[in-house]
Amino acid sequence: MTDKRQVAMVIDLNKCIGCQTCTIACKTQWTNREGMEGMWWNTVSTSPGEGTPKGWEKMGGGFRKGKAQPGKLPKQGEFGTAWNFNVEEALFQGDKHDTLGPIGGDPNWGTNWDEDIGGGEYPNSFQFYIPRICNHCTKPACMEACPRGAIFKREEDGIVVINEDHCRGFRFCQEACPYKEIYYNTVTGTSQKCIMCAPRLEEGVPTACSRQCPGRVRFLGFLDDEDGPIHKLVYKYKVAMALHPEYETEPNVFYIPPLAPPSFDEEGNPIDEDRIPMDYLDSLFGPAVGPAIDLLKAEKAKKKAGGESDLMDTLIARNWLDLFGPFTTNPKDVAKTLEERVQNRQG
């Protein structure tokens, strides 16, 4: 009998550089099939900003005091349209005045439209990147909402999966998910979302977004692994926390909140005030964020003074594979075919 376990992820916003390699890794891994062109199961948005889909934090869903909350159905245009370009005309047929651009005219929104716009006023501008995937919640609002029971949470790893054979495209899940992490495939007529790279995890390989992240931003592992970095960061040091815990779905993706350089007074002198307003961080991560930031600063100061810090060493993760708990297999070493993989399991 397998124990109920939960795979979890900690994303370090101090290491995230907004490069979108995770986004692309996911795209080339799963969403390069028909009807999925506009899907980004992994996104990275600049915060503050509208995010993806546009204005998702104002779209509702999730629970309040345990009760499901109505949500808005996000539309493709809000996620960002997968523009196609007039390549043939502009490059192989056109004269020099033909402009290559999105077919259908000037776009006014896209998946990453708000990139690097940020908030505040120069020179006290502020911004940071937030990567997001499905949170594989402990209390998945999507699963609760589905009238067909087509969404299930795997016992062995807590991954929340849409059974696409059973899904009828009703999209209550899209409305109910407060993170708006579910997409609708108009070709298949089904809802689709991040599968936490279940086929990779099954082979001991980290998720594409984790393994391919050059910023070494993502810790991966089982939440109950007390020796693992995730348990340490979430429970021991309490520096990793869910995004919008008030949505009550109990996400299993956690974030190390962002530090920033000092802000300036009116004369341009650096002052001790946080560049990223604490009430803004509170609105994202809840009241635990303040103590977490204080601890991160204190531990860095300790390191700078030549001291030891298990927290800082954990976050540094000098050995890259330490990020991934039990998932350390190189994908190229996995059996190439499904048949071989099934055989390996049975043998």
Please give the residues from 139 up to 178 whose contact with other proteins meets the rule CB under 8 A: 139-141, 143-150, 152-156, 161-166, 168, 170-172, 175-176
Choose among 126, 323, 330, 52: nearest CA to 210: 323
Q: Tell me the C-alpha distance between 67 and 90, whole Å.
A: 54
Return the residues of window 32-51 that contact other proteins according to CB under 8 A.
32-33
Least Å from the CB of residue 294 to other proteins:
15
CB atoms inside a 10 Å sphere around CB 55 = 14
What tokens appear for 113 in the block? Answer: 């439209």
Return the exposure string of 282-304: e unless at least 16 CB atoms fall within 10 Å of the residue's CB, then b.
Answer: eebbeebbbebbeebeebbeeee
Q: Does 59 interact with other proteins (rule: CB under 8 A)?
A: no
Return the residues of window 240-259 that contact other proteins according to CB under 8 A.
258
Q: Which stretch binds other proteins (CB under 8 A): 218-226, 234-242, 268-276, 284-292?
A: 268-276
Least Å from the CB of residue 291 to other proteins:
18
Query: Which of residues 70, 227, 279, 347 is near other proteins by CB under 8 A?
Result: 70
Q: Tell me the C-alpha distance between 171 and 192, whole Å.
A: 10
User: Which residues contact residue 17 at a Cβ distance below 8 angstroms, ignoring those fewer than 6 apart?
Assistant: 129, 214, 215
Least Å from the CB of residue 143 to other proteins:
6
Cis geometry, peptide bond prior to residue 48 (ω within 30 degrees of 0): yes
Q: Pairing relation of β-strands 7-12 and 253-256?
A: parallel
Q: Angle between the 289-304 and 278-285 helix axes, to the nearest 10 degrees? A: 120
Q: For residues 172 and 255, which CB has a smaller minimum distance to other proteins in the complex?
A: 172
Query: Which of residues 15, 54, 180, 231 is near other proteins by CB under 8 A?
Result: 15
What amino acid occupies position 43? T
Least Å from the CB of residue 290 to other proteins:
19
Q: Does 261 interact with other proteins (rule: CB under 8 A)?
A: yes
Query: Which of residues 34, 95, 227, 272 is near other proteins by CB under 8 A?
Result: 95
Q: Tell me the C-alpha distance between 170 and 92, whole Å.
A: 43
- Residues in contact with other proteins, counted by CB under 8 A, come to a total of 146
Least Å from the CB of residue 185 to other proteins:
10
Q: For residues 20 and 135, which CB has a smaller minimum distance to other proteins in the complex?
A: 20
Q: Which stretch binds other proteins (CB under 8 A): 86-94, 219-227, 228-236, 282-290?
A: 86-94
Q: For residues 28 and 282, which CB has a smaller minimum distance to other proteins in the complex?
A: 28
Q: Does 236 interact with other proteins (rule: CB under 8 A)?
A: no
Return the residues of window 277-316 that contact other proteins according to CB under 8 A.
300, 302-306, 312, 315-316
For residue 211, the surrounding DSSP H or E stretch is helix 208-211
Q: For residues 165 and 227, which CB has a smaller minimum distance to other proteins in the complex?
A: 165
User: Which residues contact residue 256 at a Cβ distance below 8 angstroms, ignoring those fewer than 6 apart?
Assistant: 10, 11, 12, 13, 14, 15, 233, 239, 240, 292, 296, 315
Report the SS3 class of residue 97. coil
Q: Does 58 interact with other proteins (rule: CB under 8 A)?
A: no
Q: Does 216 interact with other proteins (rule: CB under 8 A)?
A: yes
Positive or negative: CA dihedral 142, 143, 144, 150: positive
User: Which residues contact residue 93 at a Cβ distance below 8 angstroms, ignoring those fewer than 6 apart?
Assistant: none
CB atoms inside a 10 Å sphere around CB 253 = 23
Least Å from the CB of residue 243 to other proteins:
18
Least Å from the CB of residue 71 to other proteins:
7
Least Å from the CB of residue 288 to other proteins:
20
Query: Which of residues 68, 225, 244, 329 is near other proteins by CB under 8 A?
Result: 68
